[in-house]
A = this chain, B = another copy of it.
Amino acid sequence: MGKNTYICAIKVLKLILSKKTKYAMVALARLARDYGREPIQIRDIAESEKIPQRFLENILLELRKLGILGSKLGKEGGYFLLKKPSEVSLLEIVRHFEGTIALMYCVSEKAYQPCEFCKDEATCRIRKVFKDVRDTTYEILKRTSLESLIQDQPRS
C-alpha cells in the first residue's frame, strides 16, 4: 500500500470552513433561540446540537472572551448571549475563527500582507478578482445576523 492510498477516505478541503467555525455558528443559533432565558449548560448544547462536549467548551470560552457570550458558574450556571441576536453577524464569527474571510492575504483587511508576485497591487488583475470575491462575501456575511438564522425555525 502506497502512502497515498485512500480507502473510503474523505479528502479535507482547504477552503472549507473548520468544524470549529461551524460548531460556533450552530451553538450560537441555539443560544439565540433561547435568548433572554436562563443560562444554558454546555452539556445541553452539546447533546442537542451533536457537538463533542469538550471541544464545545473551548469554543464557548472563545466566544465569551470575544464578548458575545456571558457565563454563569455553579449550579444552574451556563452560557447565554450577551448581545441581541440581531446584533451578532456571521461576519464576526467567521472572521474570528478563520482569521479572515479573504482568499488572498493581499485583499484581506484583517490579515493583510503585501503580494509576493505583482509589482503594483492597484493594477493587479488577479488581486482585483479576489477583492471582488471578498467584498461580496463580506456583504453577505455582514448582513446575516443570528436573528436571521432562527426565523421560522422549529424550537428543537
Contacts and interface: CB of A to CB of B under 8 A. Distances in A.
Each complex incorporates copies of this chain amounting to 2
A129 interface: yes
B150 A13 contact: no
A116 to B, nearest CB: 7
A153 interface: yes
Nearest to A11: B99
Interface string A8-41: 0011011111100010011001000000000000
Contacts of A22: 104, 117, 126
B117 A13 contact: no
Which of A26, A103, A104, A111 has the most chain B CB atoms closer than 10 A to its own CB?
A103
Interface stretch (A53-61, A67-75, A77-85, A131-139): A131-139
Interface of A: 10-11, 13-18, 22, 25-26, 29, 49-50, 90, 98-105, 111, 113, 116-117, 123, 125-126, 129-130, 132-133, 136-137, 140-141, 144, 148-153
A69 B125 CA distance: 21
B132 A148 contact: no
A13 B98 contact: yes
Nearest to A13: B99
